[in-house]
Amino acid sequence: MSKRGLKRGIAVAAAGLIAASTLVGCAAESTVTPTDGAVSTEPVTIRMVAAQYTDAMQPYYDDLVTRFEAENQNITVEVEVVSWNDIDQKLKTMVQTGDLPDIGNLNYFSSFAADDLLYTAEELVPADVLADMVPTFIENSKYNGVAYALPDLASARLFFYNKDILAAAGVAVEDLKTWDGLEAAMQKIKAYDSAIVPLVLPLGPEEAQAEFMIWANSNDGGVFTDGKWSITSDKNVETMEYLASLVDQGLTNPTPATCNRTDCAFALFAEGKAAMLNGAQFLPNVLAEQASPINYGFTTFPSNRADGSSITLGVQDYFFGFKKEGNLDAVQKFLAFLYQPENYAGFLEAAGGFLPATVSAGAALANDPALAPYIEILPQAVFYPGTEASWPAVQGEMQQTIGKAVEKGANIMAVLENIASKAE
C-alpha cells in the first residue's frame, strides 16, 4: 500500500496528529487552478481505475460521478472499480502499453513517480485540501522528498479470535501475547476439536505481503531496515521457519499459499471454522455483512521481539494522477470534489470502516469506539517501504511466492533471495 524513500517505520498516533494539526479550510470551498494556468471549457473525458474495497464502491462512484458531472458539464468521468486481486496487474499493464488512466488508486505509487508519470500532490488538489491530510500519511506519500500521491485511507491490524472456541479449549487471551504462548494455544485448540483451524494463515496473492510484514516485524525482522533492504535477514528466515513449523504441525490451514485474505481467511473465521487470524478494523464490517454468528474479540499481535513489545502493520492506499495532455483541470476538480467532507465521508463508508486520511474526518471519528483500539496501536505501526521505487516489484513477487516458503521441504532462503532480487 505505499512507497517510500523516507522511514515510515514509526507512525504517529492519529489522535495526536489530529490534535496537533489545524484544519485550514474545507474542500467544498476550494477554488482549483491548474498549474498550467488553463481552465478548460472544452469537453474532456477522464478515466479512473479504483480499488474495490467492498461491493459498495462502484455504486458510490456512480453516484459521485453523476453529481460531479451535473456541476461540471464539460467533464465526463469513467470509473472502473477493480478487485484487489487484479488491480495491481491491470495498472501495470496500462502503464506498459501506454494506455494510462487519468487517476489511479492503489497501495503504492513510487514506481510511477520514479518514471516521471505522476503529478505532484500540490498539483492534484488545492492547498486547503492538501493541508487537511494527516501529516504522517502525506510523508508516506513522498518519493525523493516530494509528495506524488494523496492518501485515501489507512488501516491497522489487530489479532482476532473466536471467544467461544478459545474458552472451550481452555485458552486465555493472555496466552496469545508471545509466539510460544500462541503455539501452545493452537495445540490446545487442535486437541479440543481437530476440525477447527487454530490459526488461518493467508499467504495467497491477495495480500501476502501484509501477512509476511506483520509476522516478520513481530520477530524484529522486516523488509527494509536502517535505510537498506533486509529481506534475506536471519530474523526473516527464522520467521518463516516458525510459520512453516505451524503448517507442518497442522495448526494452520493446510495450503497458506493458496489462501487469500477475503475468500479464505475471512470466510473461515466468519463461519466459525478458524479460531484466530490477523485482521484489520474493517473485519467487523465483513463479519456483519456475512451475518456471521461468531462471538469474537481482538487483542494486540503476538510478539517474539526482544523487548516483548507488540507492533501493528499500518497500511495506507493512495490516489494519484497520471500526467496527460489536457487532463489536469478535470483531474483536479474531480479529486477536490471527492475530498469534500460529505463526499469523503461517503467514500469511507463505502470502503467499509477504514481510518480516515484527513484531519477533519479524523476529528469527527476520534471518539468512535470501533476505531479507538486501532488509533491507540498506531504509534507501534510499521509501514511498507512505499517510497522505495522498487517496492512494487518486491511486493508483487512476495504476493506470488512467499507462501511457497512454508511448504514442506521448502528452501526458505531461496524464496527470500528471489524476492530480494526484485529490489536490485
User: Which CATH number covers residue 189?
Assistant: 3.40.190.10
153: β partners: 317, 356
Mean pLDDT value of segment 304-333: 96
Cα 418–chain centre separation: 23
Summarize pLDDT for 138-194 with one digit per residue, the tens: 999 999 999 999 999 999 999 999 999 999 999 999 999 999 999 999 999 999 999
Q: Look at residue 20 in the predicted model and tell me its pLDDT.
A: 35
Domain span holding position 340: 44-155+315-383
User: Under a CB-based contact definition with an 8 Å cutoff, are residues 46 and 331 in contact?
Assistant: yes
Burial class (CB in 10 A: 0-12, 13-18, 19+), 90: middle
- The mean predicted confidence, pLDDT, of the chain is 90
Asked whether residue 164 falls in the same domain as residue 284, the answer is yes
Residue 260 Cα distances to 101, 106, 266, 273, 321, angstroms: 27, 18, 9, 15, 29
Q: Is the pLDDT of residue 31 over 60?
A: no
| pLDDT at residue 13 is higher than 50 | no
State what percent of residues in the chain have pLDDT above 70. 91
Q: Is residue 82 part of a domain?
A: yes
In this structure, the answer to whether residues 358 and 368 fall within a common structural domain is yes
What is the number of other CB atoms lying within 10 angstroms of the CB of residue 231?
Answer: 25
Report yes or no on 270 lying in a domain.
yes
Together in a domain, 279 and 161: yes
**CA 363 distance to own-chain centroid:** 21
Q: Say if residue 212 is in the same domain as residue 118.
A: no
326 with 262, same domain: the answer is no
In a domain, 29, yes or no: no
Burial level of 270, CB count in 10 A (0-12/13-18/19+)? buried
Please state whether beta strands 224-225 and 228-229 pair in parallel, antiparallel, or not at all (unpaired): antiparallel
Judged against a pLDDT cut of 60, whether residue 17 lies above it is answered with: no
Q: Is residue 394 a part of any domain in this protein?
A: yes
Residue 208 is assigned to a structural domain of this protein: yes
Let me know whether 274 and 340 are in one domain: no
Within a domain: 5: no
In whole angstroms, give the CA distance from residue 387 to residue 394. Answer: 12
Q: Are 49 and 103 in contact (CB under 8 A)?
A: yes
Q: How far is CA 393 from CA 105, 108, 143, 383, 390, in A?
A: 17, 10, 16, 17, 5
251 shares its domain with 163: yes
3-27 mean pLDDT: 32
**Is 10 a residue whose pLDDT tops 70?**
no
238 and 278 inside one domain: yes
By the 8 A CB rule, do 46 and 79 touch?
no
DSSP string across 23-56: ----GGG-----TTS----S-EEEEEEEE-SSTT
> Would you give the DSSP letter of residue 170?
T
CA gap 389, 92 in Å, rounded: 14
| Amino acid at site 419 | I
pLDDT range class, residue 11, cuts 50, 70, 90: very low
Place of cell 469474537: 296
Name the pTM for this structure. Answer: 0.78
Give alpha helix (H) positions in 28-134: 57-71, 87-96, 110-114, 121-124, 127-131
- The span from the CA of 189 to the CA of 187, in Å, is 5
- 285 vs 293: CA distance, rounded Å: 13
pLDDT at 40: 59
Strand 381-382 with 312-313, pairing: parallel
Residue closest to 359 by CA, chosen among 342, 371, 341, 347: 341
pLDDT one-digit tens code per residue, 86-143: 999 999 999 999 999 999 999 999 999 999 999 999 999 999 999 999 888 999 999 9
Does 258 map to a domain?
yes
Number of domains in the chain: 2
Do 270 and 394 have their domain in common? Answer: yes
- The fraction of the chain above a pLDDT of 90, given in percent, is 80
Question: Cα–Cα distances in Å, from 179 out to 192, 219, 294, 308?
Answer: 20, 9, 25, 10
Residue range 213-236: average pLDDT? 96
Is residue 301 domain-shared with residue 345, that is, in the same domain? no
Report how far residue 245's alpha carbon sits from residue 249's, in angstroms, rounded to the nearest whole number: 6
Residue 108 sits in the same domain as residue 225: no
Q: Is residue 165 part of a domain?
A: yes
Q: How far apart are CA 210 and CA 194, in angstroms?
A: 28
131 lies in the same domain as 163 = no
Give the three cell numbers for residue 393. 516489484
For helices 391-401 and 208-217, give the axis angle rounded to 10 degrees. 100
Alpha-carbon span 205 to 187, nearest angstrom: 27
